Copies of this chain bind each other. A is one copy, B any other.
Amino acid sequence: MARIVVKFGGTSVATVERIRHAARHIKREVDAGNEVAVVVSAMSGKTNELVGWVNEASKFHDAREYDAVVASGEQVTAGLMAIVLADMGIESRSFAGWQVPIRTDDAHGAARIAEIDPSELDKRMKSGWVPVITGFQGVAPSGRVTTLGRGGSDTSAVAVAAAVGADRCDIYTDVDGVYTTDPRIVSRARRLSKIAFEEMLEMASLGAKVLMIRSVEMAMAHKVRLVVRSSFEDPDAPQIGPDGLPGVPGTLVCDEDEIMEKQIVSGITLARGEAKITLRGVKDKPGVAAAVFGALADQSIVVDMIVQNIADDGASTDITFTVPDSEYDKAVNAIEGARSAVDFRHLTGSRGGAKISVVGVGMRSHAGVASTMFRAMADRGINIQLITTSEIKTSVLIDDEYAELAVRTLHTYYGLDMKDA
């Protein structure tokens, strides 16, 4: 017997029929003797409809009213889910965020959860009830409804799981787990049975849009084991893990220690549309980097990769960084505008770069991970424009033309390809 929080995203509760299907997953867990709480998103499309109305009402709306309007979506789903569960003979009731209560700060539209009172949920779960909680929302100290920002339902689910001390938090979505890379690019991409929180964070921020970063951070901080799994699978099918053995289908996101056989590399990610800008002959003196990136931050331009080499002649250096393609002109203007503070010879740059990263906690203890990457690129004649590294990630910037080839090559070189059946 386990205590489980399950979360269903918008596509999993898009219609009453889909809600009924999702409820069968819940029933399976209840029938297995588990204590279950449910967190739901709004029906797919509903939040966009509500946001559209708010923007139509006024471009300059009070965030508190935005929240009052937009939070209604999950209330509908929670009530419908409670009704469907009751119809299946499962005792259930819905809870709006303010009813739990899920207390947040007062940053309306992007609130952070401060505290969840678990007592009512705990009492219900112990006596076999299934509480259904609205995701994405809570209540501010003022008593007004808050929302957590888009995708906040994952965060709600993790926070509820932490509050009630759940053994795991199952995130039901429209994919069946986390893959070694994008299966649309690499047909032999494999579903991972386990991935460490840190890896998931790097994967998420690099474009594997399965889980919101915030929810992974919170899960890591509170040691809440997450399972990414598909709500579209047959709820009554035998529960087979990705390793073919009985278990929970999907990918377990967990503490590194729980992963016995660590892959050196767990995944390859791709981020396209990266523009690079190089400042040549920058005077090598303290405060230069601050001046460059201060000028960009003032324009709210998000910088991704940053590379600075040591000065070759002891007097000047080159700085290269990447920004989204769409911010390229703005970034160039910002730098030119700051020319009095940033003394450089000339600026070069171009749009259309692709960043390829290999991610894996095993890198910490294994030499040669980066060199495999560079060899793979060399073998395919792909020119590496930039290299950055972190503890569990190595990234290169290459020409976008070679993006898919690079991902497929690295997937093979690191031994991630699915074996033939």
Interface residues of A (CB under 8 A from B): 16, 19-20, 50, 53-54, 56-58, 60-62, 64-69, 71-73, 75-76, 78-80, 82-84, 86-87, 93-94, 96, 98-99, 143-145
Q: Are B86 and A58 in contact (CB under 8 A)?
A: yes
Question: Known contacts A58-B87, A65-B94, A68-B94; is A80 also within 8 Å of B53 by CB?
Answer: yes
Contact (Cβ within 8 A) B54 A80: yes
A62, B76: Cβ atoms under 8 Å? no
Q: How distant is A95 from chain B, measured CB to nearest CB, in Å?
A: 9
Give A83 to B57 CA distance when docked, in angstroms: 6
Contact (Cβ within 8 A) B64 A16: no
Contact A79 B83 (CB under 8 A): no
Q: When chains A and B are docked, how far (Å) is the Cα of A50 from the Cα of B145?
A: 21
Tell me the smallest distance from the CB of A100 to a CB of chain B, in Å. 11
Return chain B residues, CB-CB under 8 Å to A58. Answer: 83-84, 86-87
Q: What 6 A-B pairs have minimum CB-CB distances, sorted nearest first?
A: A69-B79, A68-B79, A58-B87, A72-B72, A57-B83, A16-B56
What chain B residues lie within 8 Å of A64 (beta carbons)? 93
Complex interface: chain B residues within 8 A of A71 (CB): 75
Chain B, Cβ-Cβ closest to A57: B83
The minimal Cβ–Cβ distance linking A13 to chain B, given in whole angstroms, is: 11
A83 touches B61 (CB 8 A): yes
* Bound complex: CA A117 to CA B71 (Å): 24
| Complex contact B80–A62 (CB within 8 A) | no
Contacts of A62 in B (CB 8 A): 82-83, 86, 93
* Most interface-central of A57, A69, A143, A144 (chain B CB within 10 A): A57
The residue in chain B whose Cβ has the minimal distance to the Cβ of A87 is B58
State A386–B71 Cα separation when bound (angstroms): 55
Chain B residues within 8 Å of A145, by CB: 96
By a CB distance below 8 angstroms, the chain B residues around A72 are: 72-73, 75-76
Q: With contacts A16-B56, A19-B57 known, is A83 near B99, CB below 8 A?
A: no
Distance of A76 Cα from B54 Cα, bound (Å): 9
How far is B20's CA from A96's CA once the two chains are assembled, in angstroms?
Answer: 29
Roughly how many angstroms separate A99 CA and B19 CA in the complex, as a whole number? Answer: 29
Most buried by B among A19, A82, A84, A143: A82
The chain B residue with its CB closest to the CB of A67 is B79
Out of B66, B76, B80, which one reaches A79, CB within 8 Å? B66
B16 touches A53 (CB 8 A): yes
Q: Which residues of B contact A69 (CB under 8 A)?
A: 75-76, 79-80, 83
Q: Cβ of A83 and Cβ of B96 under 8 Å apart?
A: no
A74's nearest neighbour on chain B, judged by CB, is: B72
Nearest residue (CB) in B for A17 is: B56
Contact (Cβ within 8 A) A54 B79: yes
Q: Are A68 and B54 in contact (CB under 8 A)?
A: no
CB A291 to nearest CB in B, in angstroms, measures: 40
CB distance from A12 to the nearest CB of B (A): 15
Task: Across the interface, name the chain B residue whose C-beta is closest to A98.
Answer: B98
Known contacts A58-B86, A87-B60, A99-B143; is-contact A75 B68 (Cβ 8 Å):
yes
| Residue of chain B at shortest CB distance from A94 | B68
Residue in A16, A68, A78 whose Cβ sees the most chain B Cβ within 10 Å: A68
Name the distance in Å between A40's Cβ and chain B's nearest Cβ.
12
CA distance A99 to B54 in the complex (A): 21
**Which residues of the partner chain B approach A79 to less than 8 Å between Cβ atoms?**
54, 65-69
**Besides A67-B79, A71-B75, 5 other CB < 8 A contacts?**
A16-B56, A58-B84, A65-B80, A72-B73, A99-B144
With A16-B56, A87-B57 as known contacts, state yes or no: A50 contacts B65, CB within 8 Å.
no
- Chain B residues with CB below 8 A from A84, complex form: 57-58
